[in-house]
Every structure is written in C-alpha cells, then in structure tokens.
Amino acid sequence: MRETLLIEDGPFETRAAVLKRDQLLELQIMRPGNLSRIGDFFNGRVAKLIPDMDIAFIDLGADGDGFLQLSDIPTNAKSINAAVHEGEKLLVQVIKDAKGDKGPQLGCRCALYGANLIYRPFGGGVTLSKSIKVAEERNRLERLLESHAQDCGVTVRTSAQYASNKELSTEIQALATEWVKIQTEWKSARKPGSLGQEKTPLTGVLKNLLTANMDVIVSSVTALNATRDYVRQHMPGVKQQVTLWDKQASLFEEMGIEAELDIALQKSVLLTSGGNITIEATEAAIIIDVNSAGQTQAVGSRSAALSTNLEAAHEICRQIRLRNLSGIIIIDFIHMNGKGEVEKLTQTLQVALDQDPRPTRLIGMTELGLMQMTRKRGRPAIHETLYQPCEACDGRGYVKNEITILSEIYRELQNEVRFSRQAMLTIEAGEKLASQLRSHQTLMEKELTRPIMVSENARLSSFDYKIG
C-alpha cells in the first residue's frame, strides 16, 4: 500500500509527516539552523590522532571538527596510526550528527541513498531488506541487481518491491554517476569543506523520507517546484505524484497532524481500551510505563493484562518513531501470568519494530519484568527540536525555543491571510519577541504578501504575543 508524504514549508522550518492508511507514522521538523548532516560528504583533513582510542579528529572547514574511528575506515590496519596520518586528505561522510560538545561522527565506508536502493562503493554484493518477504520478489531483485554489484555493494530498501526493473536500473546508474561526481569534486578540492549541493530543510526532508512508494502533497508552489526538481534529479525514472494542497484550511490542521504533534509532545498517551502509557526521557534511558487504568476485562482468550500490553506495544512503537526517541529504552509492561504471554508480547513488539526504518534491537525481558530495547540515534528528538531548558527553573523544565514561537506566529498569520481580508497584519508582543519579529519582519511580509505592524506590549512577558 502506498504511503503519503505531507510537507508544510515555511521560512523558519519545514515540517513533514508520513501517513499510511491515514495513520501517522513519522514526523520530521527541519530548520536551517539544525539541518541533519547525516549522509553529507566532506573533504576532510586529519587534524589529530588519538592512538589510545584509535580515533582521528578531522578538520571539516567551516563545519568544525568531526571524529573518525578506526572501525569506520575500510582498511586492514590494526591501529589508527597505521590507517591514516596527520595532514592527510580524506573523503569522509557524516554517519551521526553532532550532539552537544561532541562533533559529528564520520566514516569512510561511504553510502549513497536513493529512493529504493543504497549504493555502497566500497561494499560488495546485494543485500535485501528483511521486510521484503515474498520469495519471488526477492529473486527478481537479486537477479536484476547482481550485475550492478560486481564492484560495489547494493542494499535494497523495502520500497524497491514496488518499483519496476527499469526504475531500479535507472536509479542504480544515477547513484553510480553521483558517486563519480563526488569523487571528482573531492579530488579537486584544496581546502576542507562540504561537497555536493547545499542542503535545505526541504531537500533534507525529501532525502530522509521520500521513497518511490509515496504520493506527496505540499503546501506551497515553491515547495511543489522544488520537490519536482528533486525527484527529476535524484529519482530518475520514478513517476512520483506530487500535488499542491488547494484547500483553505492548512494542510497539517486538516489532516489531523497538528493534533498528533500535540500528543507526541505530551508525557502521557491514552489507549483505546482506557489504559495509557507514560514516556519520560532521562539522561540514561527512555522510560515507558504501561498502565491499565482499571481495565480488567479479558478479550477473548487473552487476559486483560496481555490485551492492554499488546495495544500498548503497537502505540509505543509508533510513538518512539514519531518522537524520534533513541538510545536505551526500558518498558514496564503490566505484569502477566498466563502461559506464553511474554512470548506473544515479544513477537508483537518485534513485528512492529521491523516497520521502523531506523535500526532497533529488541533485547527482551529482564528478571524484574522490564522489556529492554535500543534504537539507533539519528536526528534529534522532536522535543529537543521544539523546546529548550527553562532558565527560570534552573533547567528542570522546558519552554518553546524562539524558532518554535516564530514558526507558530507565522502559521497563525497564514490563517489570518486565508480567512481575513485585512490590509495589514498586527502583532503585539513582549520585549524580546517583538525584537525578534522585527528582525524577521521583511521576510514574513514577503512570504505572506501583507504588511505587518509589530508593537511592543509591556504587559506581556518576553515571548508572549497577541495577533489581531
């Protein structure tokens, strides 16, 4: 079944949502200041070696330093000193974004990501996604791609089962051509720095989420044209349906995404049965608790505990992906006594986790009855993108950051433009927010095609505002 990618593009952030059977599967929020660099190529220079840890620090130019582990270099060398030397020029790729004071993690085992395939120039053979179950389809894909994997590796993504032989052949050739361009640019580069086209929030979203098995709906003509250009360049041969949202109500509001986003930012999530799950992030792990809320009615042959746990398992896996939670995850399910119930719950969790494109590992139940799993870190969690520690409460609480507030104001002004014929848009704001709005006023007026009057209201706190 085809999925739908919804994209709302704005001057401060680009928001994207993936739906399947009208159920929200994934949310991404990209901003100019927090673009994920995963997959980006750099001309790097080895700045310093740490032999005891087999790590090299790599100068990336304007993007600062990253670090490269020996295990991420395609070499038979036994130490970082034998693998590279200070001052050496390297073609590196970001495999983990920078976090806090820690720079991005880099690798030399390069990979180029297409809509259906991953091209690994230093790999070998064809590897198929485990989610492709039909033997006939697996055989088709292996036969088709074996000839293209003589001098490289090809990983076949789940969406490839919906693509024709012509589409896949065109895609692998395009990826190979892109790799040649990257190598050529790297060889001619004289200083450390990024390679390839500059990434934007929109292209970042498309690179992360778009597959050949998707229809795309965008909120603006600018995003429509940019998305079609991206498809022509990066997905040659793929007939992608890209349409412009033409209703008066906003795309995310009409499709129920705003409500889902609100839930994804809350600590507690209600279950249909009346139970709930609570999700809390700590420095060490993500802790999830399942509560029955008094639900004691068995469902068929299942105990009440198992029934609630199975429902919770599906919602937990969905929320983990929506919120983009990562690292160690501990789940405290309702205690079960029935024979085979733990095995049934574990199987249900595994099936749900297999649908997550980010690598996860289900470890199992501890002696204390806690389910353990891990999820590979990629982009920051949704909460980290939208909020910042509250200075007034010594970092124990969180408040919306400036870009989040500016984005909300912009969307409210968009609604004013849609539903009102006012010649001028007016905003009253606290001192700090008023200053921020004035610095972005020209940009917003251009996007909204309306003049904006910003006035400071001393009765409002620094980042409060009123529109109209």
Please answer whether residues 112 and 175 qualify as being in contact, where contact means their C-beta atoms are separated by less than 8 angstroms. Answer: yes
Three-class secondary structure of residue 297 per DSSP: coil
Contact assessment for residue 282 and residue 296, using Cβ atoms and an 8 Å cutoff:
no
Q: Give the range of the structural domain holding residue 288, as residue numbers without chain letter.
A: 265-375
Residues 285 and 347 in one domain: yes
Of the listed ranges 134-148, 198-212, 295-309, 422-436, the one predicted with least confidence: 295-309
Task: With a cut of 70, say whether residue 395 has pLDDT above it.
Answer: no
For 293: left if phi > 0, alpha if psi spans -120 to 50, otherwise beta; the answer is: left
Q: Do 284 and 299 share a domain, yes or no?
A: yes
282 lies in some domain:
yes
The pLDDT, as a whole number, for residue 115 is 79
Instruction: Note whether 257 and 295 are same-domain residues.
Output: no
pLDDT, one tens digit per residue, over 51-96 is: 999 999 999 999 899 999 999 999 999 999 999 999 999 999 999 8
DSSP string, 183-247: HHHHHH--SSEE-SSPP-HHHHHHHHH--TTEEEEESSHHHHHHHHHHHHHHSTT----EEE--S
As a whole number of angstroms, the distance between CA 459 and CA 429 comes to 9
Q: Within this chain, do residues 329 and 355 fall inside the same structural domain, yes or no? A: yes
How high is the pLDDT of residue 245? Answer: 96
CATH of the domain at 99: 2.40.50.140
Residue 116 lies in a domain: no
Low-confidence winner among 26-35, 299-308, 329-338 (lowest mean pLDDT): 299-308
Whether residue 300 has pLDDT greater than 60 = no
Query: In the listed set 212, 242, 261, which residue is the last one of a domain according to the structure?
Result: 261
Q: Are 144 and 126 in contact (CB under 8 A)?
A: no
Over the stretch 449-463, which tens digit does the pLDDT of each residue have? 999 999 999 899 888
pLDDT for the residue numbered 198: 81
Residue 376: predicted pLDDT: 86
Q: How confident is the model at residue 268 (pLDDT cuts 50, 70, 90)?
A: very high
283 and 232 belong to one structural domain: no
Is 130 within the bounds of a domain? no
The closest of 440, 379, 374 to 204, measured between CA atoms, is 379
Mean local confidence (pLDDT), 135-164 = 90
Same-domain pairing of 104 and 12: no
Are both 255 and 270 inside the same structural domain?
A: no
d(CA 402, CA 417): 23
- Burial class (CB within 10 angstroms; exposed 0-12, middle 13-18, buried 19+) of 247: exposed
Q: How far is CA 80 from the centre of its chain?
A: 32
> Is residue 190 a part of any domain in this protein?
no
Distance CA 60, CA 68 (A): 12
Spatial separation of the C-alpha atoms in residues 92 and 404, rounded to whole Å: 33
Residues 304 and 357 occupy one common structural domain: yes
Strand pairing category for 371-375 and 360-365: antiparallel
On whether both 61 and 94 belong to a single domain, the answer is yes
**Strand pairing of 41-50 and 89-96?**
antiparallel
pLDDT at 163: 83
Q: Say yes or no: 272 and 337 in one domain.
A: yes
* Domain assignment of residue 150, yes or no: no
Residues 317 and 344 both lie in one domain: yes
424 token code pair: 């001028």
Is 66 within 8 Å of 106 (Cβ atoms)? yes
Q: What tokens appear for 27 in the block?
A: 């949310």
Q: Quick one: 297 and 365 in the same domain? A: yes
Backbone angles phi, psi at 97, to 5 degrees: -70, 160
Pairwise pLDDT comparison (97 vs 24), residue with the higher score: 24
Q: Cα–chain-centroid distance for residue 359?
A: 13
Amino acid of residue 31: R
Examine residue 396 and state whether it is found in any structural domain, yes or no.
no
**228 assigned to some structural domain:** yes
Under DSSP, the state recorded for 65 is E
Helices 431-439 and 402-419 sit at what angle, rounded to 10 degrees? 70
Q: What is the CATH number of the domain that holds 224?
A: 3.30.420.40
Neighbours of 152 (CB within 10 A): 18
Asked if pLDDT for residue 359 goes beyond 90, the answer is: no
Do the domain assignments include residue 310? yes
Question: What distance in Å separates the CA atoms of residue 92 and residue 98, rounded to the nearest whole number?
Answer: 15
**CATH number of 370's domain:** 3.40.630
Please count the other Cβ atoms lying within 10 Å of the Cβ belonging to residue 386.
Answer: 22
The alpha-helical segments, DSSP class H, found in 96-164 are 135-146
Q: Which of 60, 91, 109 is the last residue of a domain?
A: 109
Structure tokens at 393: 């409460």
Residue 296: CB atoms within 10 A of its CB come to 9
Number of domains in the chain: 4
Give the strand order in the sheet containing 465-467. Answer: 452-456, 425-429, 465-467
Examine the fold and report which residue of 261, 277, 297 is the final residue of a domain before the chain moves on.
261
